[in-house]
Amino acid sequence: MKVGYLGPKGTFSEEAACRYFAKREAELLPYPTILDVLDEVEAGRIDKAIVPLENTIEGSIIFAVDRLNESEDLFVQGEIVLDIAQNLLAAGPVKLEDLKEIWSIPPAISQCRLLIKKLKAEVKNFDSTVAAAIAVQESGRQDVAAIASAWAAKQWGLQIIASDIQDSASNHTRFVVVTKGVQLLEAPRKTMMVILPNHERSGVLMSILQVFFALDLNLSWIESRPTKKRLGTYQFYLDVEAGLEDERTVKAVSILKTLGHQLKILGSY
* CATH among 3.40.50.150, 3.90.550.10, 3.30.70.260, 3.30.565.10 for 191-268: 3.30.70.260
- pLDDT, tens digit, for every residue of 51-80? 999 988 778 999 999 999 999 999 999 999
For position 231, what pLDDT does the model report? 83
The list of the chain residues with pLDDT below 50 reads: none
How many angstroms separate the first and last alpha carbons of the chain? 19
Q: 119 vs 16, 30, 250, CA distance in Å?
A: 30, 32, 52
Q: Give the span between the Cα atoms of 42 and 109, in whole angstroms.
A: 29
Q: Do 191-268 and 2-83+171-180 have the same topology in CATH?
A: no
The count of other CB atoms within 10 Å of the CB of residue 120 is 9
Domain ranges of the chain: 2-83+171-180, 87-162, 191-268
Measured CA angle at 175 (ends 169, 179), to 5 deg: 180
- pLDDT, tens digit, for every residue of 31-52? 989 999 999 999 999 999 999 9
Measured CA angle at 230 (ends 229, 234), to 5 deg: 85
CATH class of the structural domain 2-83+171-180:
alpha beta
